[in-house]
Amino acid sequence: MRHEPAIAPARMAVSDEQTVAALRAGDERAFRDLFARNYPMMKRVARTYVASEAVAEEIVQETWMAIVTGIDRFEGRSALGTWIFSILTNQARTHSARERRALPFSSVAPSDAEAPAVDPDRFQTGDDAWPGHWATPPRPWQKPERRLLSLEARDRLKAALAELPERQRVIVGLRDVDGHSAEEVCDLLGLSQENQRVLLHRGRSRLRAVLEEYLDAADV
């Protein structure tokens, strides 16, 4: 029998079935694949429900335990990812009831939408020749060999990501760091596409600005 790669969305169900069968048989490789694919998202989401990394880690561990011991109860009526996510949020709610309220992901607070992507001072104003066009334009970034960024610049990026407002951090993390699609993120978090884009835009714009500041300073 030949296994074709699961590329088209229509094949997702087949791929879920294979994963579930492998988990039921205790297949460690299949489990490790599933773990690696989902762990970062789970940790990120769990962290929005509780105040500490340690508790978020505990929630994720409990969720994986529930997946492994409860996989026989998965009936395939939803996608495997949705099932995993519902276990995760149930565990997280139990913990957050003791800690603090979950973030209302379906609404975008004004603070998430207000800040401009680029400092307004960098654009020409009404008195200049071309209002709204660059006064201080961005300069092309020099790339170090092989990698996009030096190790130090990566550390800077990591720190800036950690400092983003929470919902921006979660969305940028899920989309750009973990590589989930807009559809997946909106489905999982019950977020509209538009709100997802606002959060993504603010977060990415801020991170670009941090890198620009660092790289321009390093260039001089």
Partner 1 sequence: MHTSGPPHNGHSASELDLPVDEVTCQQFVELVTEYFEGALEPRTLSRVEEHLVMCDWCVTYVEQMQATIASLRELGEARSPEPPDAVLAALRARRAGGA
- Which tokens belong to 78? 């939803």
Q: Is 178 in the site for partner 1 (CB under 8 A)?
A: yes
Which of 1, 2, 101, 130 binds partner 1 (CB under 8 A)? It is 130
Please, which of residues 132-171 interact with partner 1 by CB under 8 A? 132-134, 137-141, 143, 147-149, 153-154, 157-158, 161
CA distances from 84 to 41, 64, 71 (A): 11, 8, 10
One character per residue 87-126, x = contact with partner 1 (rule: CB under 8 A): -----------------------------xxx-x--x---
Nearer Cβ to partner 1 (18/35): 35
CB atoms near residue 202 (< 10 Å) = 24
Per-residue 3-state assignment (H helix, E strand, C coil) for 106-131: CCCCHHHHHCCCCCHHHECCCCCCCC
171 φ, ψ to 5°? Answer: -70, -45
Q: Is 176 in the site for partner 1 (CB under 8 A)?
A: yes
CA distances from 208 to 109, 136, 157, 202, 205 (A): 22, 15, 9, 10, 5
Site of interaction with partner 1 (CB under 8 A): 23-28, 31-32, 35-36, 39-40, 61, 64-65, 68-69, 72, 116-118, 120, 123, 130-134, 137-141, 143, 147-149, 153-154, 157-158, 161, 172, 176-179, 182, 193, 197, 200-201, 204-205, 207-208, 211-212
